[in-house]
Structure 1
């Protein structure tokens, strides 16, 4: 189905699930709310499309490491305390160790470009998700996912065509929609309503570590000692920022 087709199934089915679960049409939206939700949803859809394109061209761990520079940028731009820079620096050090800068195998520049684009979208997703989180979490993420689906589903349908409607594709897409979008995005919206934006940004920067662990457990990928050190630095940054969140 290609990256566009996978994204269309993931986002489109997630929008249907969230609409059925939260019935967001019962929530009254102001003009400002509607604008924030449209931008939030657009960034969500673009982020999915771009990162899947990057996955097709460069290693997944590298792509995610580049992508999380977006949330880290949000941390640095929003921070007013020295300790936030300390934890951000810890996360950045971990990411630097994960990136194969010294590798003799060059990265596909197109894949790097897609990942950089996904990083920007992730940063904007956090900014506008925080603004949209003034609404109830469930309805907000349902409206945002609908906005994302209105953009990604036509793109995916044009690319993959009838392959999207096969029973196997729909069943697999439903599982991905629940586990990768409907459930985690709902939880993220709840977190955005309770955490400062910079703290949320540091927390989600643990994604490369989670990806590395998944690669080890599911795909049997082996990591070097330096890469495990990188994971430890990122987990330290995430845990420390979470511990400090209650004081904000």
Structure 2
């Protein structure tokens, strides 16, 4: 039993590390995307370039991983389609529609209602009340997020924009659920690659019908206090904030489950503030530092509300016993290989985690 507990603890610890690294790599998408937007790029062009190039990069390693196992793709098509169209493409599309009607911090705050949506959905689905630490951690983390984003400042709120922001939050919640359920269905690199392909198709359709304008310039951009080629932020937002970030994110979510992973992802906003400070000179204030500390405190509270005895997935094929589940059940119970279940935007103005 002690061995199982040790394995579970190691799995959770490594999951937190992967999730934090994912949040950090997603976080730099804000200043990178902002440099392109200020140079004349439309949000559709930024999103399209990010997803499309990531798809091209990931297709080769994904094909290499699946050699001799192509029959497994049939069982994962639904997962990749939902992951790409909803969790990647539509999440970004809804976020940018919200940004078009309100300030980015408010839109981002709305999208990061995703952890609360997951807790509420688990409550409705199981009729089991969340633990006190989960409820308290949710409140503390949301308060910290509000301080980091300075939503108490002079912000304009539009009802239609609120609707778009909530839709983005639902898509972000779907991202965490599908990432957790993908464990045991397909290798992470294949799931992300397939998702990028389906996401590219979705963005292409939205652009073709004129819903998502696509405009780009190919001159210099301001980044790190100097002028540089547009290729630098494009490659950064693709290789680091898409390829690496999504791969780390899906592995971390598989090990933590959708609920805990969604709360750890809140630290991405803090990473985005720090990255913006370093890369484009947007200096954070003391209130944002306090907000970052509250986010971390909220994540710790939710973590302590996880299974008391180190219960949790010991191995992709070993589900947790019902009696070992916490007050809000984890979504990380790996799906069997035959199952076919169906980054974001957490950054700074114009582009972020899933954007």
* 2:119 aligned residue: 75
Paired residues of 1:9 and 1:153 also in contact (CA < 8 A): no
Q: Aligned in 2, Cα 1:242/1:217: closer, same or farther, shift over 3 Å? A: farther
Which shifted more, 124-133 or 8-17? 124-133
**Residue number among 151, 170, 173 corresponding to 1:120 in the alignment:** 170
* 1:137 aligned residue: 188
Report how far residue 204 of structure 1 moved: 0.9
Alignment partners' CA distance in 2, 1:206 and 1:5: 27
* 1:147 aligned residue: 198
Per-residue CA distance 1:73-101 (angstroms, 9 max, x = gap): 21343375333223222212223445656
* 1:62 aligned residue: 106
- Kindly indicate which of the two structures has a greater share of residues assigned to helix: 1
* 2:46 aligned residue: 6
Per-residue CA distance 1:138-194 (angstroms, 9 max, x = gap): 111111111111111343466337x48999666643331112111100011111221
Report how far residue 208 of structure 1 moved: 2.6
Alignment partners' CA distance in 2, 1:208 and 1:112: 19
Report how far residue 16 of structure 1 moved: 0.9
Which shifted more, 33-42 or 105-114? 105-114
Query: Which residues of structure 2 form unaligned runs of 5+?
Result: 1-40, 124-129, 221-228, 313-355
Per-residue CA distance 1:98-147 (angstroms, 9 max, x = gap): 56565444235554443322211101111122222322111111111111
Aligned length: 247
Alignment partners' CA distance in 2, 1:77 and 1:104: 32
**Residue number among 101, 107, 110 corresponding to 2:157 in the alignment:** 107
* 1:47 aligned residue: 91
Paired residues of 2:274 and 2:284 also in contact (CA < 8 A): no
* TM-score after normalising by structure 1: 0.82
Is residue 242 of structure 2 the alignment partner of residue 188 of structure 1? no
User: For 1:133, what is the secondary structure of its paired residue?
Assistant: coil
Per-residue CA distance 1:197-220 (angstroms, 9 max, x = gap): 211111112233223333333344
* TM-score after normalising by structure 2: 0.60
Query: Which residues of structure 1 form unaligned runs of 5+?
Result: none
Alignment partners' CA distance in 2, 1:175 and 1:141: 18
User: For 2:214, what is the secondary structure of its paired residue?
Assistant: helix
Report how far residue 242 of structure 1 moved: 5.3
Alignment partners' CA distance in 1, 2:259 and 2:303: 11
Is residue 270 of structure 2 the alignment partner of residue 209 of structure 1? yes
Report how far residue 34 of structure 1 moved: 1.8
Which shifted more, 119-128 or 56-65? 56-65
